[in-house]
Each structure stands twice: as C-alpha cells, then as structure tokens.
Amino acid sequence: MNKIQRCVSILIPIIALTALTPVVLAAPVELSLDESIALALKNNYNIKYYNSAREKSYWALKEAEKNKGVSVTYTHTDERYNTPPSVLYGTDSYTYTNDFDNTVALSVPIYSGKKLEGEIDEANLALKEADLDVAVAKQQLKLDVITDYFNVLEYRNEAAVDQATVDNYKEHLDLVNAKFDIGMVAKTDVLTSQVDLADAQDTLIQAQNSYHNAVATLNNAIGLSHGTELVLKDEFKYEKYPLTLEQCLQYAEEHRPEIAQYEAKVTSAKDAIQVAKSGYLPTVDLTAEQGWYDSHLPGAKNSNWLVKLTTSINLFDTGLTDSQVKQAQHNVDMVSDQAKQERDSILLNVRQYYLSMGEAEKRIETSKVSVNQAEENLRIEKERYKVGVDTNLDLRDAVLSLDSAKKTAIKALYDFNTYRAELEQAMGIPVK
C-alpha cells in the first residue's frame, strides 16, 4: 500500500464519522425586556461615545481650574555666538563667546477681570450638559430597544394569527372537497377556498419575514449577532397608568434632561457675557524668576533673581471687546428662545403620547369583545356550513372577521405599550 492509499484509508473513517455527528446549533437566547435594555446599555456604541465625551468635558473643567493656579517652568539655554572686530572695544578680530543659562520661573494670575472664573463656570456647565447628554442617550436607547422588542412581539403574534387563519382555511377546504365529492357544492366553492388558502399562506409568509427582520433589528440594538435566535420572555400587558396628565407634565418640566440642558446653556451664555466683559478690565500677574549663567556647562554661576508684578489694561482695541460683548448678549437671547421652544415641544409630546395611550387603552377593551364575538361567530358558521344552511362566502367572511379582530387586539396592546414607553421617555424618567 503506497503513501496515498494509506492517507485515504485513514481519512475515510474520519470523514464518515464527521458526517454522522449531529451539528450542534447555538441555543436560542432568552431575553426579558429589562435584560434587553441592560445588554443595549452595555454594548451600544452611542452610549460609549457620550461617556467619552463626558470624560473629555471633565478634563476640560480641570484645565480651566488649573489656569488659575501657579505654574513653574524651567528653561536651559546653550548659546555660542561671535562678536565682530570693534575699534571701540579695541578688538581687531572676531571674538567667540559661550553662554549657558538656567532659569526657573514662577507665575500666578492675581486678577483676570473675572475671565478665568467665567471660563471655569462655563466648563462646569459644559460638564453638566455632558452628563445630561449621557442621560438623554440612555433614555433614547431604552425607547429604541422597547420599540424593537415590541415590534418582535407584534409580528410574532400576527404570524400566529395568520397561521391560525391558514389552518382555518385548510380545515374549510377539506370540508368543501368532501362536500364536492358527494355533489353538495359546486366546483366554484372549491376554487374559491383554494384561492383563500393561497392568499392566507402569502400573508403568513410576509408576517414571518417581518418577524425575522424585527428580530435582526432587535439584535442589532442590543449588540448581538443579527442572526441570533431570540426567545422573548415578556408579553404585551395592560396596566392602567398611575399618573394623570397634569402629573406627567409637571414631572417632565422637572426631570426631562433636555430642559435642564437648555437651562445650563442659558446660564453658560450669561457667563460668556462676563468673560467678554473682562476685556474692559485690567489683568494682574505675578512673576518670580531665579537664574544662573556662565560660560561653562552647566551654567550654574552668577545667580540673579527677578520679582515682577504686571498690570495691563486694554485702552483701545478698535471696538473688539464691545463686539464680543454684544455677540454674547445676543447669544443669550438665542439660547433662551431655543430653551422655550424645546420646553413647549417636550410638553406637547407628553400630552400627545398620554392622550394616544388613553385612546389605545379604550381600544383594548373593545377589541376583547370583538375577538370573543368573532370566535363565536366562526364556530356557528362552521356548523351552519356543515349542514348546508350558510354559503361558502358566509364562512369565509367569518374567518376574515376573526383574523381582523385578533390583529386589531394585538395592535391595540402594541399601541398602548409603545405610547406608554414614548410617554415615559418624553417625561424624562431615568434609566436604571
């Protein structure tokens, strides 16, 4: 047996064993709504971005605070230069000189016309806005995940309704075929039932595709592979909302991050006026220096020191400071108007979502009655058709009525839960 034959004889059993070994598929991931939100908060890139932006604002504040502190610098200079011949100094050739200089300088701002203080206040407010940006991003992400989760539930439930409709049409087609075989119905009844079944199967295919797309969208939102199979633990539920509209509006005014953000922006814009006005005021800086120099390294001889208090004031800048102040004042007006518009928009959203939630709540009750009546009607029509009292069209209408009633009930629950989530996001309820 040559080398190739030996290799083949070894590989064949391995390949056969591999083919007979069952493929182990990844188990479906079971998730509640709260677990989905937690996963999204952990994996979402947008949240990571805003957390990094918050850290950047924090260190910008530290920079602004350090500008008021003492700074110490050390400078070492090495020089070699020449001096041309000079009759005055009695030299007839170039003279070369080495100079090694060391200086330690300490400086501290004594008074900046409140410019530095204003910049610190602005940096503090920027940090507050960055914190609120994180809160806004988390609330929006929570709403997105809830919506995606509910979409999966809705399409899954609608697919179940469509499957039940297909089953009803299959059962009816069997009954029609049995009646046709004994001459009780015309061929048109069979054809009509076949068309109804085909249409129902098409609708089921579309619903199943919508469900799979919704699962992929939810996986994307929570940071899982798009093809991950999910088993959702939660279902649509109805619980009467405990707050009144007025309570919701009041809560939004007190807790919605965007309202607090604009309040911070208005305050920051006012601080910017003070920073601009610092151009009218003097600045005072204290400088202290200690130096050593000589013609040999390291230049540690010939000690000298300097203490200097410098006061400066801008006497004329062609109106530059005045223009900066005017810009800052108008910026306050602009930001204030934006803050009012944002507040009005938020309160309008709260009102709209609350009223829409109430409308969906009413539909939940009426849809329950419709489903019960449609189920009873279908049961009666099946019995009447069996004994030849009603027509094929009557039974078909009963199936469609039940299908429509069930989907209306699903939509009412979906709308109620979605509007509730949108309401809570509009109110600014924090993400735990």
Note the pLDDT tens digit of each residue in 389-416: 888 888 889 999 999 999 999 999 999 9
Q: How far apart are CA 394 and CA 392, in angstroms?
A: 5
Would you state the pLDDT for residue 238? 92
pLDDT class of 8 with cuts at 50, 70, 90 = very low
Compute the average pLDDT of residues 297-301.
Answer: 86
Compute the average pLDDT of residues 136-156.
Answer: 96
Q: Which amino acid is at 14?
A: I
Q: How far apart are CA 298 and CA 101, in angstroms?
A: 8
Q: How far apart are CA 30 and CA 398, in angstroms?
A: 36
Would you state the pLDDT for residue 2? 54
Q: How far apart are CA 398 and CA 327, in angstroms?
A: 71
Say how many residues make up the chain: 432
End-to-end CA distance of the chain: 71
Q: Strands 29-31 and 230-232, how do they pair?
A: parallel
pLDDT class of 48 with cuts at 50, 70, 90 = very high
Compute the average pLDDT of residues 237-245.
Answer: 94
21, pLDDT greater than 50: no
Would you state the pLDDT for residue 19? 43
Give the other-Cβ count within 10 Å of 365's Cβ. 10
Would you state the pLDDT for residue 385? 85
Of 234, 27, 248, 251, whose CA–CA distance to 145 is shortest? 234
Would you state the pLDDT for residue 85? 82
Core vs surface per residue 338-347: b (16+ CB within 10 A) or e? ebeebbeebb
Would you state the pLDDT for residue 9? 52
Q: Please provide the DSSP assignment of 122-189 as one string.
A: HHHHHHHHHHHHHHHHHHHHHHHHHHHHHHHHHHHHHHHHHHHHHHHHHHHHHHHHHHHHTTSS-HHH
pLDDT > 70: what percent of the chain?
A: 94
**Cβ(238)–Cβ(364) under 8 Å?**
yes
* Backbone torsions φ then ψ of 267, nearest 5 degrees: -60, -40
Would you state the pLDDT for residue 336? 94
386, pLDDT greater than 60: yes
Would you state the pLDDT for residue 96? 84
11, pLDDT greater than 60: no
Q: How far apart are CA 301 and CA 305, in angstroms?
A: 13
Question: What is the residue whose two structure tokens read 């390949």?
Answer: 15
pLDDT class of 22 with cuts at 50, 70, 90 = very low
Compute the average pLDDT of residues 332-354.
Answer: 95
Mean pLDDT of the chain: 89
- Give the domain 27-71+111-281+318-427 fold: Outer membrane efflux proteins (OEP) (1.20.1600)
pLDDT (tens digit per residue) in 257-288: 999 999 999 999 999 998 999 999 999 999 99
Would you state the pLDDT for residue 51? 94
Of 419, 261, 424, 259, whose CA–CA distance to 346 is shortest? 259
Compute the average pLDDT of residues 356-384.
Answer: 94
Would you state the pLDDT for residue 6? 53
Q: How far apart are CA 173 and CA 30, in angstroms?
A: 38
Burial class (CB in 10 A: 0-12, 13-18, 19+), 185: buried
184, pLDDT greater than 90: no
12, pLDDT greater than 50: no
Compute the average pLDDT of residues 45-66.
Answer: 94
Would you state the pLDDT for residue 20? 42
Specify the pTM.
0.80
Would you state the pLDDT for residue 24? 42
Burial class (CB in 10 A: 0-12, 13-18, 19+), 261: buried
pLDDT (tens digit per residue) in 185-194: 889 989 999 9
Q: How far apart are CA 196 and CA 219, in angstroms?
A: 35
23, pLDDT greater than 50: no
pLDDT (tens digit per residue) in 79-96: 988 888 877 767 778 888
Minimum mean pLDDT range among 92-101, 105-114, 139-148, 395-404: 92-101
**Cβ(339)–Cβ(263) under 8 Å?**
yes
Question: What are the residue boundaries of the structural domains of the chain, listed by start?
Answer: 27-71+111-281+318-427
17, pLDDT greater than 80: no
* Six token digits for residue 156: 């899954």
Virtual torsion, Cα 187, 193, 194, 195, nearest 10 deg: 110
